[in-house]
Amino acid sequence: MIRYLIYVLINLSPCFLFAQASDMIGTWEGELKVRGQKITVFFNIAPQQDGQLTATLDVPSQMQYDLQMDEVTVDSNEITIDFKQGNLQYKGKLSPYLSTLKGVWAQGGGAFTLPLYRRKTTPYARPQTPQAPFDYDIEEVQYLNKTANIKLAGTLTIPKGKDKYPVAILISGSGAQDRNSALLKHKPFWVIADYLTSQGIAVLRFDDRGVGQSKGDFAKATTADFATDVTAALQYLQKHPRIDKYQIGLIGHSEGGAIAQIVAAQQKKKIDFVVLLAAQGVSGKAILLQQLEDILQQEGVDKELIQTRVRMNEQLFEAIIKDDKQALQAGDLLPIIEEDLNKMSAADKKLLGLEPASLMQSFPSFVSPWMRYYLEYDPATNLSKIKSPILAINGDKDLQVAGEINLKAIEQQVSKNTPLTIKLLLNHNHLLQHSESGAIDDYLKIEETISPEVLELIATWIHEL
């Protein structure tokens, strides 16, 4: 009888004894209890092509999504997740029925018990995110930016076959982006790459410098520096045996459009086409001021208060632009707007994020190398030099790069001899999702990653060149 019970117990717990790394894959939810607060967190664990695991972290209450973890290791039924930037480590032990991770969240010298429970469904549906198997070839690539002496890494998707294929280089917008341009659970560059490659167009998408597997320092780089990263990608593709070097194009979203303008103007004979998605036609300063006004207006802020807030930013921007010697420091900015600040109520300062702590946190970004360059960036100089066909697509509900204003500017500045196609899409936001409001808060709520009309427009336009 005892022998029989031992046999039954052993056979009831094979998962515990022989847990595989694949058993950890999925979305795990837990409630972190810290100093009287309850913070819901999600770990999203996924497989890599090399058989190892990767993970991202979501903290919705802090508007943090897709934080890429540095390392995931599995030993028997135990998993360890490390996030160096956040000084965080999670260690958990998988339950026999594979439904729970009993573990500890260690961060900043503190340790907190954190059980994680497997979710059967993801909390954010993203139906367009590509799913294996894929009907094209996938290459993980690395190449050198000789100008900056840094290695960049990305993914090249190529249609199956022995032909040489046209290729598009995807260029991300502002902020440190990975190769998928992951934002709020969306992966638009992966969706674009998957669609175009299935339509016979190869696509290279790469991690921004200092992000993912790419080297370099993102914080010290400007839009012009990012353009050299794209040029390095161009040079790599020109030598690739499965790429038609006479059919290499650029697809840039938001600031990526400005980068595409710079590269296309510099590399006239080597760029076959340029696609500008939600891209600017006016200066960086004009973009940021219009963006601020449109977002505050959409949020229902009083018009007079909006005008005051926009005027304050314009004063800051002008001071930075006139600072030829770049001597202006973050601590020098407060006096520039102090007069307007002193006239504001405490409630208005809180509403507009102008409390002392918020200002001190934001001021360093105002005098960063990126901001100094971007404020003065004028697309007119580059747009007039581009000889390649251009497709410019903007949304009429875009609160970050106003669609109609920027498309008109692009149309006016492109040479009359350059083939230009302009598309202002109704009810499309900055991410080129269908949206009636354009509100930034809706980016996460909308299940659509990018409008199917946009995908079809791009593919059809490239094929018709």
Which CATH code fits 20-119? 2.40.128.20
pLDDT band at residue 163 using 50, 70 and 90 as cut-offs = very high
pLDDT value for 6: 37
Is the bond into 241 cis (omega within 30 degrees of 0)? Answer: no
Which of 4-13, 150-159, 172-181 has the lowest average pLDDT? 4-13
| Token duo for residue 375 | 């404020």
Please give the average per-residue pLDDT across 333-343, as a whole number. 93
Q: Is the pLDDT of residue 150 over 80?
A: yes
Q: Is the pLDDT of residue 421 over 80?
A: yes
Please give the average per-residue pLDDT across 368-376, as a whole number. 96
Cross-sheet strand order for the sheet of 110-119: 64-68, 53-59, 37-47, 26-34, 110-119, 100-107, 88-94, 78-83, 71-75
> Which among 438, 451, 441, 454 has a CA at the least distance from the CA of 128?
451
| Digit-coded pLDDT (tens) for 126-140 | 999 999 899 999 999
Please give the average per-residue pLDDT across 222-238, as a whole number. 98
pLDDT value for 2: 42
Please identify which residue in the block is written with the tokens 């004028």: 378
Please tell me the distance from the alpha carbon of residue 394 to that of residue 425, in angstroms, as a whole number.
6
pLDDT value for 411: 98
CA quadruple 6, 8, 11, 12: dihedral sign: negative
Calculate the CA dihedral of residues 250, 251, 257, 263 and round it to 10 degrees. -10
Please identify which residue in the block is written with the tokens 């409390």: 355
Please give the average per-residue pLDDT across 364-376, as a whole number. 96
Please give the average per-residue pLDDT across 243-260, as a whole number. 98
User: Could you write out the DSSP letters of every residue in 50-82?
Assistant: TS-EEEEEEEGGGTEEEEEPSEEEEETTEEEEE
Q: Is the pLDDT of residue 375 over 90?
A: yes
Query: How far apart, in Å, are the Cα atoms of 80 and each of 102, 119, 233?
Result: 12, 19, 35
> Which among 426, 392, 398 has a CA at the least distance from the CA of 411?
392
Please give the average per-residue pLDDT across 388-401, as a whole number. 98
Range(s) of the chain covered by CATH 2.40.128.20: 20-119
pLDDT value for 121: 77
Q: Is the pLDDT of residue 22 over 90?
A: no
| Digit-coded pLDDT (tens) for 58-82 | 998 888 888 889 999 999 899 999 9
State the CB neighbour count (10 A cutoff) for residue 27. Answer: 20
The rounded mean pLDDT for the chain is 92
Q: Is the pLDDT of residue 4 over 90?
A: no
Alpha helices (H) along 368-424: 369-376, 379-383, 403-413
| Digit-coded pLDDT (tens) for 77-103 | 999 999 988 899 999 999 988 889 999
pLDDT band at residue 124 using 50, 70 and 90 as cut-offs = confident
Fold type of domain 136-283+377-463: Rossmann fold (3.40.50)
| Token duo for residue 127 | 């139906």
| Token duo for residue 321 | 């632009």
pLDDT value for 19: 58
Which of 25-39, 147-161, 263-277, 295-309 has the lowest average pLDDT? 25-39
Q: Is the pLDDT of residue 13 over 90?
A: no
Q: Is the pLDDT of residue 17 over 90?
A: no
Note the maximum CA span of the chain.
Answer: 92
Contacts of 290-293 with CB under 8 Å at 24 or more apart are 290/402, 290/405, 291/399, 291/400, 291/401, 291/402
Q: Is the pLDDT of residue 14 over 60?
A: no
Range(s) of the chain covered by CATH 3.40.50.1820: 136-283+377-463
| Digit-coded pLDDT (tens) for 200-212 | 999 999 999 999 8
State the CB neighbour count (10 A cutoff) for residue 430. Answer: 24
Q: Are 101 and 72 in contact (CB under 8 A)?
A: no
Please identify which residue in the block is written with the tokens 């502002």: 174
SS3 311: helix
Q: Is the pLDDT of residue 350 over 60?
A: yes
Q: Is the pLDDT of residue 187 over 50?
A: yes
